[in-house]
Amino acid sequence: MASSKPPRTHSKPQNKQRRQSAFLKLKRAHESAKRAARFQRKREEAKNPALREERRARNVPATIDSKRVWDDVASDDENMLGRAVDVERLKRQKKSQGTENDRRQQQEEEEEEEEDNDDEDELDSMLDEEESGDDERSRESSNEPSKKATSPSAAPPRRRQSSPGGSTASTNLALTPEALASRFPTLFSPPAEPKILITTSMNSTLHAQAEILTTFFPNSVYIRRSRHHHGHKYSVREIARFAANRSYTTMLVLEEDQKRPCGLTVVHLPQGPTFHFSISNWVEGKKLPGHGNPTDHLPELILNNFRTPLGLLTAHLFRAMYPPQPELQGRQVVTLHNQRDYIFVRRHRYIFRDKRPTEKSVVGSDGKPVKGVEEIRAGLQELGPRFTLKLRRVDKGIQRRSGQEWEWKGRMDKERTRFQL
């Protein structure tokens, strides 16, 4: 008796080429269905734009910035330098609490006035009963204060409207907490004419990069720092004292690793503090495609997205390194943009031109075109250098050895939703 094969219980093709062709057919069918649904949705949204707004509001992606965690501290906390506190939100809460306190105080005053008026009415009625022989004029005179008292009180206080959101991510330096300003008084009163001394680490080869920094920071001078057998090995503290005696306001120390910039130490003279940054992604201007050449004009300074007390402290440090009155005819701007505790440093030259027919208008944070500049666009040309900074430590004063006493120190946090700047 011949044996029979068991029936097949699956529809999977046995041949490899057949399986591939079947997979491609399923993939094409799936993509065509998605394309048809997309075009159908596009036609429906063209007829009803409200559907597009609902879809965009529903499909907001969840990013790390949207999941950012903030600490709840008081505005007068002295140890708020290492806390992740949104200064703008803290200021808004303080204002709302102030308005609530004023409203409560005004309500209490109105209640006290009503109680006093009731007492006066009772006294007037008692006097009317005792003095029954008084004429009508005396009654009218006695009723006048009661009428004045029972007149409608002042209008209730107006409710405070919600604060509008900022159109850009620019840093508001006016929101600096008072405790932070009193802790670093010299840093929050910038000089009228900054003067910067730039040097390097011992026996460094970054002379060309240091010369580039002299064009990046106005009113700066570069002094080589060598260490040979017959020379004195000056420390950072001695150089800072030398610079402070010659009216320098800031000292920069460019650090080197394998003949590339790896760190930047910024010393605020004459008494500190000292900021330690690490440098990454250093690119000189001549290596940028379509780059321009910088001029000697004083540039404008843009500080973006510094929101915490430590971020405002860092923003004030860089603000003290640039003159308060830029030369607008040079059309140069230096941008320091903070994104997830990384400070991206760029320098551009801008020009205003007419909008081309193929270009879109400038939109604000709400996604709508900004009024007044619908037909204007700005062209940018990067001048360089471009690099990225990350704050590692803030030391007290100017120390003999770095890291002995520090105001803030970067921690090895595993929480990705917590940022310091």
| 194 pLDDT higher than 60 | yes
Q: How confident is the model at residue 51, as a pLDDT?
A: 92
Site of tokens 């843009």: 302
Q: How confident is the model at residue 199, as a pLDDT?
A: 94
Q: How confident is the model at residue 61, as a pLDDT?
A: 85
What backbone torsions phi and psi does residue 9 show, to the nearest 5 degrees? -105, 5
Mean pLDDT over each residue of the chain, to the nearest integer: 80
Tell me the C-alpha distance between 273 and 187, whole Å.
8
pLDDT (average), residues 67-75: 74
Tell me the C-alpha distance between 284 and 387, whole Å.
9
To the nearest 10°, the Cα dihedral for 94, 99, 105, 110? -170
Tell me the C-alpha distance between 278 and 282, whole Å.
11
Tell me the C-alpha distance between 79 and 310, whole Å.
11
**pLDDT category of residue 157 using cuts at 50, 70 and 90:** very low
From the list 228, 177, 198, 166, the residue with the least C-alpha distance to 73 is 177
Tell me the C-alpha distance between 60 and 261, whole Å.
39
**Class for domain 173-358+369-409, per CATH?**
alpha beta
Domain extent listing, the chain: 25-58, 173-358+369-409
pLDDT (average), residues 39-56: 92
SS3 312: helix
SS3 354: strand
| 346 pLDDT higher than 80 | yes
CA triple 394-397-402, angle to 5 deg: 60
pTM of the predicted model over 0.85: no
Q: How confident is the model at residue 39, as a pLDDT?
A: 95
What backbone torsions phi and psi does residue 216 show, to the nearest 5 degrees? -80, -40
Strand-pair partners of 267: 251, 274
Do residues 240 and 251 touch, judged by C-beta distance below 8 A?
A: yes
SS3 370: coil
| 129 pLDDT higher than 60 | no
For a pLDDT cut of 70, what percent of the chain falls above it? 78
SS3 260: strand
Q: How confident is the model at residue 75, as a pLDDT?
A: 58
pLDDT (average), residues 261-270: 93
| Segment 270-312, tens digit of pLDDT | 888 999 999 999 999 999 999 999 999 999 999 998 988 889 9
Tell me the C-alpha distance between 358 and 52, whole Å.
23
- Kindly state the tokens that stand for 338: 């903070």
| 227 pLDDT higher than 80 | no
| Segment 85-119, tens digit of pLDDT | 887 777 776 676 666 666 777 777 777 777 666 66
Tell me the C-alpha distance between 312 and 252, whole Å.
20
